[in-house]
Amino acid sequence: MNKYSVSYKKMWVLLVERGISPVDLRKDLNIATGTMTKLRRNEEVALSVLLRICEYLDCNIGDVCDFVKKDW
Of the CA atoms within 13 Å of residue 39, those in its CB half-sphere come to 22
Q: What's the pLDDT tens digit per position in 17-53?
A: 999 999 999 999 999 999 999 999 999 999 999 999 9
* Domain tally, the chain: 1
Rounded Cα gap, residues 4 and 71, in angstroms: 9
Question: pLDDT-based confidence at 69, cuts 50/70/90?
Answer: confident
Q: Which residues lie across from 4 on neighbouring strands? A: 69
* AA identity, residue 66: D
For 8, phi then psi, to 5°, come to -105, 20
In this prediction the pTM is 0.88
- pLDDT (mean) for 3-28: 96
Do 11 and 54 form a contact (C-beta atoms < 8 A)? no
SS3 11: helix
Structural domain boundaries, residue 48: 4-69
Q: What is the pLDDT of residue 11?
A: 97
Instruction: Provide the CATH number for the domain around residue 41.
Output: 1.10.260.40
